[in-house]
Structure 1
Amino acid sequence: MMKRYLAAAALMMTVGCASQDTVDNPLSRTTMVTSGDLSMVSHQKNTYAWHPSVDNVVADDRIDQAAVKAHVQQAIDQVMTEKGYQRVGLSSSPAMLIGYGLALEAEMSDAEIMKRAGLVPGLSTKNVDHDKYEKGSVLIAVFNPNQIQPVWRVLAQGFTDFEQSAKQRQSRFDILLDKMMKAIPKA
């Protein structure tokens, strides 16, 4: 009788150990990597300006690049205003310059991002439905106005669901951007 119980228990344990590696909601997955030192930026003034050449959106025709740039700038302005900074023109000698870049995986690989940005979070796309979700990358870079290279940068990767409304995607983006810019000190 004991042998039957042990056999039944062993069978149940074997059946119970089966698993399937799927991703139900890749939208909850993000990775982020940061590099640099924000103390290299003068905090004597609480001003910033847009970097004159770091404002790229690399995406296909599913994305209105002008609208995305406008939204990114508005979202960055919101975060910086909440931190006590004021955006000024380049001619006003800002304390820092802010640049940004966005790319969809179909248009720019992780290898290309590494080559251009010098870092990559490496979000895995394993077991993700590529017909529904696409990996996207967002870079925010802070420059000392007197230096060519950024003094600080953050790169995040997550998944975009093009079946969501533009408003839902923008809301998720705003939350991500706020997390990305947490390290920038208050003015």
Structure 2
Amino acid sequence: MTFLTACVTAEHIETSPMRTTMVTTGDLGFISGKNSSFAWHPSLANVVAGERIDSDKVVRHMQVALTQVMESKGYHLVSIDQSPDLLLGFGLALGSEMSDKEILKKAGLVPGLSTTGIDTEQYEKGSVLVAVFNPMQLQPAWRVLAQGFTDFEQSGKERQQRFDELVSLMLGSVPRI
């Protein structure tokens, strides 16, 4: 009779709640040095979140974060009445309020960030969509959708800083003019 024994060592890799996943689609080729003004899309500024989130405050912060990144690239914010060269729209959703399946249906793309190994009592998956529109077209010319985790135990200031960094990363493909 033969007995085989073996010992296997497996390293446990801690899943980081700080990771993000991002997917981009579209073409920013319509932007040139002449396209320097942008305005907010008239109907795409949505927040789908529970009672823990002040939606109006999130919209204002998102507009500030987007404006800062766009201005750093040479663009300037104008009113929609001033015939902007491009329109920016955005949406934010928490995983408890909108599933990946619903996001895919509404946005046409989804990064699919896994919650495996994440303490869902402390962290919640969030999704952020930014869309760039040529004002002459109904459909967005370019979209980016990012998913990451928000830590409600962090201070508001820490969450805002991380969010600002995410917005900057998301708009990395938008050309400087």
Q: TM-score range by the shorter chain?
A: over 0.9
Indicate the structure (1 or 2) with the bigger Cα radius of gyration. 1
- Give the whole-Å Cα distance in 2 for the aligned partners of 1:46 and 1:185: 11
TM-score, normalised by the number of residues in structure 1: 0.88
Unmatched 5+ residue regions in structure 2? none
SS of equivalent to 1:26: coil
Alignment-derived partner of residue 177 in structure 1: 167
- The structure 1 residue matched to 2:79, chosen from 57, 65, 89, is 89
Counterparts of 1:79 and 1:22, CA distance in 2: 32
Give % identity.
Answer: 57
Question: Cα RMSD (Å) of the superposition?
Answer: 1.6
Secondary structure at 2:172 match in 1: coil
User: Could you say which residue in structure 2 is the equivalent of 1:116?
Assistant: 106
SS at match of 1:56: strand
Amino acid of the residue matched to residue 79 of structure 2? Answer: G
Distance 1:47 1:36 in 2: 20
CA distance in 2, matches of 1:58, 1:41: 30
Which runs of structure 1 show a deviation greater than 6 angstroms over 4 or more consecutive aligned residues? none
Confirm or deny that 1:26 pairs with 2:17: yes
**Residue identity in the other structure for 1:48:** F
Structure 1 residues 19 and 70: alpha-carbon distance in aligned structure 2, compared to 1, 3 A threshold: same
Code of the residue aligned with 1:107 in structure 2: it is E
* Equivalent in the alignment of 2:55: 65
CA distance in 1, matches of 2:11, 2:82: 60
Structure-2 change in CA distance of 1:123 and 1:100 (3 Å): same
Alignment-derived partner of residue 127 in structure 1:
117
Deviation at 1:134, TM superposition (A): 0.5
SS in 2 for 1:137: strand
**How does the TM-score come out when normalised to structure 2?**
0.93
Residue 44 of structure 1: CA displacement?
A: 1.8
Alignment partner, residue 158 of structure 2: 168
Say if 2:28 is the partner of 1:38: yes
Question: 2: CA distance between counterparts of 1:150 and 1:186?
Answer: 19
Structure with the higher fraction of residues in helix conformation: 1
Q: Structure 1 residue 90: deviation in Å?
A: 0.8
User: Post-superposition shift, 1:179?
Assistant: 0.4
Is the 2:87–2:132 contact (alpha carbons within 8 Å) kept by the matching residues of 1? yes
